[in-house]
Amino acid sequence: MDIELAGTFLIAGIFIISLLTLDGQIMESNTVNSLNVIAQKNAANIATILLTDIRKIGQGLETATESVQSISDSSISFISDIDKDGDVDTVSYRLGSTEDVTRTENTNDRYLYRSVNGTEFDVALGITRLELTYFNSGGNPTIVSSEIRTIGISLTVETPFYYQERLGTAEWQGQVTPNNLKAI
């Protein structure tokens, strides 16, 4: 009898340990999925911020050909009556450096900075990559500001904290053709 009882306890113990291990794996998987969802929401929010302003390039100007002021692969500066108040504004976006962010666990995350008429502030945290590409009316890449008709945006967002050495990650890509640049 004692051997049967000991065997029962052994089998029950193995079963309980298996259940606890499975429960831990499910919790880990759920947490990682939650981090990815957070990163996806952040990527969508950042894309919305960028798209909202970039669509307005040249808004309120008589001629939009000179509305794109400067460009790089991770920054853009343009003029527009961004808030439709009759005054032309200078709007800029740029990706900050990793040294700007000191209070997160992720050493790759950066701020996205937005400047309107020289007043700059950060609009997003967690972006690790921003690539802007510029296309002319034929759909060919260009670096000539007056030829830009479409802007491609590609970005990667990561969570600012780790869970068991893993980060939530999301990518977003899209293109926008500002209405005022279309007609040129």
Q: What is the pLDDT of residues 94-150, one digit of tens each?
A: 999 999 898 889 999 999 999 999 999 999 889 999 999 999 999 999 999 999 999
Do residues 110 and 101 lie in contact, with contact meaning Cβ atoms separated by under 8 Å? yes
* Percent above pLDDT 90 for the chain: 60
Arithmetic mean of pLDDT, 6-28: 67
Per-residue pLDDT at 176: 95
Q: Which helix (H) or strand (E) holds 173?
A: strand 169-176
End-to-end CA distance of the chain: 92
Contacts of 59 (CB under 8 A, 6+ apart): 80, 81, 82, 84, 179, 180
Q: Which helix (H) or strand (E) holds 180?
A: helix 179-182
Per-residue pLDDT at 48: 95
Per-residue pLDDT at 162: 83
Beta strands in 65-168 (DSSP E): 68-72, 75-80, 89-95, 110-116, 119-135, 150-158
The single-letter code of the amino acid at 120 is E
Arithmetic mean of pLDDT, 6-35: 70
pLDDT over threshold 80, residue 3: no
